[in-house]
Amino acid sequence: MHPVVQSIQQQLPPLLTHTLVGIYCYGSLVWGDFDPDISDIDLLVVLRQDVDKELFDTLDALHLRLETMYPEWAGRIEIAYISITALETFKTQCSPISVISPGEPFNTKDAGLDWLINWYTIRAQSMVVYGPAAEDIIPAISIEEFRTAVRDQIDEWVDWVVHTRDSRPYQAYAMLTMCRALYAVQTGLQTSKIQAAAWAIQHHPTQAERITNALRWRERHRDHVENPAATYPDAVAMVKYAARVR
């Protein structure tokens, strides 16, 4: 188990004695191709109640401790906290979810059907860190519900891709996300960006050069790029291609 996950496994239960239901790890740390230099650590924490102000402050302090203990992971630990009731009703209503994620401070927002992809993936492809199996607490989600959500996400990227204009690493993220989305629509499963890219190069050969470039940009994410606008058209083209063939 990764040291950060192990530390969370040790520190969270004593803090959440009366409300903790389960902790689940997912993403590339579970699916494969985890890159300590680039990848995030993704976790879901299920509670018996919504996160109130007192609990929010307790969890925020925990996050600060984790970043002090593991400075190399500062800004790359993503943890979502949600009540078991919210999971049971997410298809029909929105409920609070408290999240800390890369580029986003700890905050509370609403979560509903827009989180279906996450819940489907965690239900099917996660590692239990604490508590019961994920499929015992997350309601069943059909493969068609999953595919519909992934297709909707692809369509949303047609508008979102404009935000990648000034960042080549973000362009790579968008393009590799499209690879993973196409893989998910075809197979009904999630996989790492690296594995999805290899699959997409084989199954969508017209995009092979763009995907290969995106992999290279991802590897060189710390390189200073003078003109990311020059490669922006490739990101747009990849997103539009995915929207067309999805």
Annotate 61-86 with DSSP letters as a single string.
Answer: HHHHHHHHH-GGGTT-EEEEEEEHHH
The pTM score is 0.90
pLDDT of residue 53: 95
CA dihedral 146→152→153→157, nearest 10 degrees, is 160
Q: Which residues of the chain have pLDDT under 50?
A: none
pLDDT of residue 81: 98
pLDDT of residue 63: 96
pLDDT of residue 176: 96
Which CATH number, 3.20.20.70, 3.40.190.290, 2.130.10.10, 3.30.460.10, labels domain 3-140? 3.30.460.10
Rounded alpha-carbon distances, angstroms, from residue 74 to 29, 36, 38, 64, 169: 17, 12, 12, 9, 18
pLDDT of residue 213: 95
pLDDT per residue as tens digits for the range 157-188 = 999 999 999 999 999 999 999 999 999 999 99
pLDDT of residue 32: 80
